Structures are given as C-alpha cells and as structure tokens.
Amino acid sequence: MNVLLAVLWKDLVSEWRSRDRLIAMLVFSLLVVLVFHFALPGGATPRNAQHAPGLLWIAFVFSALLGLGRAFQIELENDALAILALAPADRGWVFLGKALANLVILSLVQAVVASVFAIVFELPILAVAAPLAGVVLLGSLGLCAVGTFFSAMSVRTRFSEMMLPVLVIPPLVPVLSAAVSATAELLRGGEVTFSSVQLLVVADLIYWIVGFVLFEYVLDE
C-alpha cells in the first residue's frame, strides 16, 4: 500500500509541476470535439443525438491514449524503470499507483471535454451529471487499467507511440461497447440500469486483477 501511495503521489506531483501531459490531452481532445462539430453541424439534431455517445467516448479514448503513452516516459528518460522494479513490495502495487494516477489525470480532462461537448452538441448532460459521471468512471477504470499495463510493455519498444493503440484497443472493445451503450441509454432516457453497466463492472474487475497479478513480469528487462 505504501508503494501504491508513493507512486500515485509522485506521478500527481510531477504532473502538477509540469502539466505537459494534462495540457496536451486537453487540447487534443478539444480539437477532436471541434472536428466533430464541423463534421456534424446543426446542434441537437436527432442524428447528432444518436451519434453523441460514441463521439464522446472517441474523444475520451484519444485523449487517454495520448496521456497513457507518456505514463512511463519519465521513468524511461531518467533510467528509473529499474527502480520501480526494485520497489520493496509486489510490483502490482506499482501498477495500481500508476493506473490510479492516470485515472485522476484522465478524469480532469474528461470533465472539461464533457462540458464542452455538451455545449457544442446541446446535450442535456447537466440533468444526468451524477449517473453520467458514474458511467464515465467505470469506463475509465477499464481504460486506465488496460492502458497502464500495455504502456509499461510498449515503453521500451522502438515504436511505442504506434504500438500502444494497437495493443490497447482490442481488449477495450467490451469496455467501450458497454460504456457507449450505457451513455446512450442515459442520454436517451435519463437513467441507466444495472444490466447496461454490468459488463463494465465485470470487465473492470478482470482487468484490474489481471494487471495487478501480471505486472510482476512486465517490468522485467
């Protein structure tokens, strides 16, 4: 647990001091929303409302991939990956600390992006803000678990920026499918049922447990 807190605190403090990853994620995701606005003009049309959940999650995933690609970059540049591997605890705690730090950073970006997205497409997000935040959190838990795990694997590769999306997207299919469906149900009917988020909960549990167990081998040279 001490390793988890140390890694979490270190990543958040480092990001607060530089804010380069946060700003890059925010600017990129807002540009994606702007492109969607030009591609689907007209505000709250039935067509835009139908595509809005998928477009919103596309913006989330793009910003997450940009940030996750830098999750282990500081350790790589400072030859500190070996230090993480030598942490006096199970390496799974390092995974949890990294994944939670990524989740905090991504959540900040998502809050801004969702607000701008709602304004651009005239969506009634404010009325369902609390349940929508829950759905986004469940989807982001799976996204950060998978992304952190494969980010540690790809950071040493020659084409890490290209490898990460290739590795991350396939396992995320059930998470993104359930997240988009739950978001669409929420925006359409104002409430979300447990059956629509059941797959999200199960997938999150599997990815976090598998990541914790298998991270023991990921940091090996």
Q: What is the pLDDT of residues 182-215, one digit of tens each?
A: 998 888 877 787 878 889 999 999 999 999 988 8
pLDDT band at 221 (very low <50, low <70, confident <90, very high): low
Q: What are the residue ranges of helices labelled H in 72-159?
A: 73-77, 81-85, 91-121, 129-154
The one-letter amino acid code at 39 reads A
Please name which of 140, 153, 121 lies closest in space to residue 49, comparing C-alpha atoms. 121
| Amino acid at site 87 | A
Per-residue pLDDT reduced to its tens digit, 65-87: 888 877 777 766 666 666 666 66
Please calculate the CA angle 13-16-21 and round it to the nearest 5 degrees: 115
Q: Which span out of 30-44, 135-149, 153-167 was modeled with the highest average pLDDT?
A: 135-149
For the cut 90, the answer to whether the pLDDT of residue 88 exceeds it is no
Do residues 218 and 153 make contact, with C-beta atoms less than 8 angstroms apart? yes
Distance CA 123, CA 120 (A): 8
Total length of the chain? 221
Q: 3-class DSSP state for residue 191? A: coil
pTM: 0.88
| pLDDT at site 69 | 79
Of the listed ranges 3-12, 51-60, 106-115, the one predicted with least confidence: 3-12
The per-residue pLDDT for 58 is 92
- Secondary structure (3-state) at 42: coil
Q: What is the C-alpha separation between 179 and 109, in angstroms, rounded?
A: 17
- Say if residue 13 is exposed, middle or buried (CB neighbours under 10 Å; 0-12, 13-18, 19+): exposed
Cα dihedral value 153, 201, 205, 177, nearest 10? -30
Give the angle 110-111-113 at the CA atoms, nearest 5°.
Answer: 60
CA distance 58 to 61: 5
Mean pLDDT value across the chain: 84
Name the percent of the chain lying above pLDDT 90. Answer: 29
Q: What is the pLDDT of residue 202?
A: 93
Is residue 102 within 8 Å of 68, Cβ to Cβ? yes
Helix (H, G, I), strand (E, B) or coil at 180: helix
